[in-house]
Structure 1
Amino acid sequence: MPKFIEKQYKSIINKNKIIDHWFWTRYSINPYNGCQFGCIYCDARSDHYHMPEDFENEILVKTNVGPMLDQRISRARTFLPDVVGIGGVTDSYQPAEKKFGNTRAILEVLAKHRYPVHLITKSTLVLRDLPLLEEIAQQTWCTVSVTITTTDLEKSILLEKFAPSPAKRLDVLRQIKAEAPHVQTGALLIPLIPVLCDDPVEVEALFTAVKQTNADYLMFGGAMTLRNRQADWFLQQLQHARPDVYEQYAGLYEFTPDARTYDGRYVPANEYMQAQHKHLFALSQKHQLPHRIKRYIPDDWRKTNYRIAERMLNVVFERQMLGQSWETLFWAAQNIQNLKEPLEAVADRGELGRIKNVRGHIKTRIEKILDEIDREDA
């Protein structure tokens, strides 16, 4: 039985210095620390996140989350409505939510202040809040991403023992599309689990299953990461359940088998990653399933900034996946969406080149996009 520890935190919402260009989140909230789903590959087990050591059995429950969030947003001088990511580290609809209702309380406050929301979950409990999510979507923007790493039940039980089955998660996508039509929803094939879940036939089966739900996207990005205590835990479980696969991991991640602490790679070599991503891009095209989430576009002075940054960051994503140069374009886009004024005003002054990383062909392309937007809006 899990142990719930209620704890008052000093803050409930984090504002990121830059917007996440995969999930479009400016802010982040995790209603719980620790996760009852106990996925053995979860990166939240690593030292980076400072989670309880008994990750799936000791759950820290943040108290007073609704009033704290309401007060923070009401008093914030530097906040503008933008996407709040909920459950990016641990699942916001894990079973604890039935008892404590933190996620529901957070959503009610965000709806009150008209903040857009991106939820990431494996849980069927998200269906409880569909009317509220639909309300947020109609007000501003709402996206629900359901993580599905495999359609194989036996593998899912090994990897995600306490999470709902892949079939139930696929049904979540179907129900959202049917009952909350303004909510954008899709699947996350994140992470791709090497060896166990990267068979081309199995991966295509996942694409087929997601397509049949009428989902808006299937996003992928990167193979499973391994580091410090998360790596130790995952490899311990893998060695016990699948010693044959453990040996393959030793080669793929270049670690010393049976070492006291993990000494291998964070991700597999580029050759493996790029081959997988090329296959995923091909499947995305074949099944006509977008691999990117349509971003929130505010209806204020940031509108053009975000529209242009979205185009640029979509290119960045593909370059990252294929091992191509992306850094300059990435920072140009981030600097544009962090401007304190409309991009049109900067362009009218002839000062696009003063934005850091906006130069050469990037500057020329932005000028063309601005012209296209002018024609579209005319």
Structure 2
Amino acid sequence: MPKFIEKTYRSVLNKKKFIDHWFWSRYTLNPYNGCMFGCIYCDARSEHYHMPEDFENQILIKKGIGDLLDTRISRARTLKPDVVVIGGVTDPYQPAETKYRNTRQCLAILKKHQYPVHIITKSDLVLDDIALLQEIAQQTWSTVSFTITTTNPKIAKFLEVRSPSPARRLAAIEKIKAKTPQIQVGALVIPVVPFLTDSDIQLEDVVRSVKDSGADFLLFGGAMTMRNLQASWYLKHIQKSYPELMHKYETLYNFSHNNDTYQGNLVPQASYLLSNHRKLIKLCKDYELPVRIKRFIPADFRKLNYEVAEVILHRSRSKQLTGKPYENFFWAGQHIQNLNESIQDIYSRNALSTISNVTGEVLEMVKHLLENPYH
């Protein structure tokens, strides 16, 4: 049985130096540490995130989270309303939520302060808060992303041990779009798990199912990461249930397996990643599914900055997915959306080139966007 431990924290809202270019989040918030769903591939098991040692059975409940969040936002002098992603590390709608309602408390406070919200989950329990998320959508912006790595029930049960089934997640997407179309909702095919969810048949079935659910987008990654404790935990399960795959993983991630430590690469070979990207790009095009999330646009001086940055970062992601140099576009987009004044004012001073990475092709693209309004 999972053990719930209530713990007092000094702060629960984290501000990032750069906005996440996948989820469009400036802030991150995790109502719980540890996750009862126990997905065996979860990167949060790694040392990087400082989670409880017994990841799925020792759940830390952030005590008084609503008051903490309210105080943090109310007293902050430099925070501006921007996207808060809830659940980037552990699931905000794991079963602990039915008892503690930490996620609901956070949503109420974010609505009070008019902050847009992005929920990342594997649970249809999010439907309990759909009215609150709709109010946030009407006020600013709200998005719900369901992780769907496979539609195969057997593989899903192996990988995502205690999570609601993919069928329930797809049904939740359908319900949200039917009842509250103001909420942007879609799927995250993250990660693509080598040798278990990456076949042509499986990938197409996921894309088709997401499309049929009425989703607004499908965002995908190239493949599963492998990092210290996370990798060791995952490989232990592979060795037990799919031992015939171990040699393939050794080749793909460049390691020799032992039971104590993982010494391989963080990501698979580049050729494997590009192959997955090509497949998923084509599938999403065939099924007319956007591969990017439409971002929140604030009404203050950041409006034009965010609109321009969105186009630049879309181009960056497209280049990255096809194996082309993308870094200059990426950093230009990041610096543009971090500006402390409108990019229009900088353009009026003929000073666009003073923005980091706004050079060459990027500079011409920014000028074109500013001289030819696209909205």
Structure 1 residue aligned with 2:353:
353
Distance 1:56 1:89 in 2: 13
How far apart in 1 are the matches of 2:143 and 2:66?
21
> Structure 2: which 5+ runs fail to align?
none
Q: RMSD value over aligned CA atoms?
A: 0.9
Separation in 2, partners of 1:304, 1:274: 33
Residue 252 (structure 1) shift: 1.2
Which residue in 1 is equivalent to 2:46? Answer: 46
Paired residue for 2:70?
70
Structure 1 residue matching 2:372: 3-state secondary structure: helix
* Paired letter, 2:322: L
TM-score, reference length from structure 2: 0.99
2:83 aligned partner? 83
With normalisation by structure 1, the TM-score equals: 0.98
Separation in 2, partners of 1:242, 1:364? 52
1:163-204 deviation digits (Å, cap 9, x = unpaired): 001100100100110111100000000000011000001110
- Deviation per CA, 1:351-370, whole angstroms, max 9, x where unpaired? 11111111122111111100
- Helix, strand or coil for the counterpart of 2:145? strand
Q: Structure 2 matches for 1:317-356, cutoff 5 A? A: 317-356=317-356
More deviation in 14-23 or 325-334? 325-334
- For residue 326 of structure 1, report the CA deviation from its aligned partner: 1.1
- Find the aligned partners of 1:270 and 1:316 in 2 and give their Cα distance: 17
Deviations 1:36-76 (A, max 9, x none): 00000000000000001100000011011111111111111
Pair 1:316-2:279 in alignment: no
Letter in 2 for 1:103: T
Taking the TM superposition and a 5 Å limit, the aligned residue runs for 1:194-213 are 194-213=194-213
Give 1:259 deviation, angstroms: 4.7
**Amino acid in the other structure paired with 2:329:** L
Measured in 2, the distance between the counterparts of 1:17 and 1:317 equals 19
1:137-148 map, 5 Å: 137-148=137-148
State yes or no: 1:223 paired with 2:219: no
Judge which range, 352-361 or 306-315, deviates more.
Answer: 352-361
Q: How many residues align?
A: 375
What is the distance in 2 between the residues matched to 1:174 and 1:359?
43
Q: Residue deviations 1:138-163, cap 9 Å, x none?
A: 10000000000000000000000100
Structure 1 counterpart of 2:312, one-letter code: M
Distance of 1:69 and 1:261 partners within structure 2: 38
Matching of residues 195-344 of structure 1 within 5 Å:
195-344=195-344
* Structure 1: unaligned runs, 5 residues or longer: none
Moved over 4 A (4+): none
Letter in 1 for 2:178: A
**Which stretch shows the higher mean deviation, 295-304 or 354-363?**
354-363
| 1:153 alignment counterpart | 153
Query: In 1, Cα distance between the equivalents of 2:30 and 2:243?
Result: 35
Q: Determine the structure 2 residue equivalent to 1:371.
A: 371
Decide whether the 8 Å contact of 1:141 with 1:296 is kept in 2. Answer: yes
Q: Are the aligned partners of 1:196 and 1:245 in contact in 2 as well (CA < 8 Å)?
A: no
Give the Cα–Cα distance (whole angstroms) in 2 for the partners of residues 259 and 50 of structure 1.
21
Q: Secondary structure, in 3 states, of the residue corresponding to 1:85?
A: strand
Query: How much has 1:221 moved relative to structure 2?
Result: 1.4
Contact 1:130–1:179 under 8 Å retained in 2: no
- Please give the secondary structure, in 2, of the residue aligned with 1:80: coil
Q: Deviations over 1:202-248 (max 9, x none)?
A: 11011111111110011101200001111000000111011112222
Q: Which amino acid in the other structure matches residue 255 of structure 1?
A: F
Task: Indicate if the aligned counterparts of 2:346 and 2:352 stay in contact, CA closer than 8 A.
Answer: yes
| 8 Å Cα contact 1:133/1:180 also seen in 2 | no
Q: Per-residue deviation at 1:256? A: 0.8
**% identical equivalent positions:** 53
In 1, are the aligned partners of 2:66 and 2:102 still within 8 Å (CA)?
yes
- Separation in 2 of the partners of 1:41 and 1:99? 26
TM-superposition CA deviations, 1:242-274 (whole Å, max 9, x none) = 111222212211211235211111111000100
- 2: CA distance, partners of 1:265 / 1:359: 33
Q: Is the CA contact (8 Å cut-off) linking 1:13 and 1:29 kept in structure 2?
A: yes
Q: Provide the rounded CA distance (Å) in 2 between the counterparts of 1:279 and 1:39.
A: 25
Which shifted more, 143-152 or 361-370? 361-370
Conserved 8 A contact 1:221-1:321: no
User: 2: CA distance between counterparts of 1:222 and 1:50?
Assistant: 25
Give, in angstroms, the shift of residue 86 of structure 1: 0.2
How far apart are the structure 1 equivalents of 2:64 and 2:319?
42
For residue 120 of structure 1, report the CA deviation from its aligned partner: 0.2
Distance (Å, rounded) in 1 between the aligned partners of 2:193 and 2:227: 15
8 Å contact from structure 1 (residues 116, 137) kept in 2: yes
Residues of 1 paired with 2:161 and 2:325: CA distance?
Answer: 38
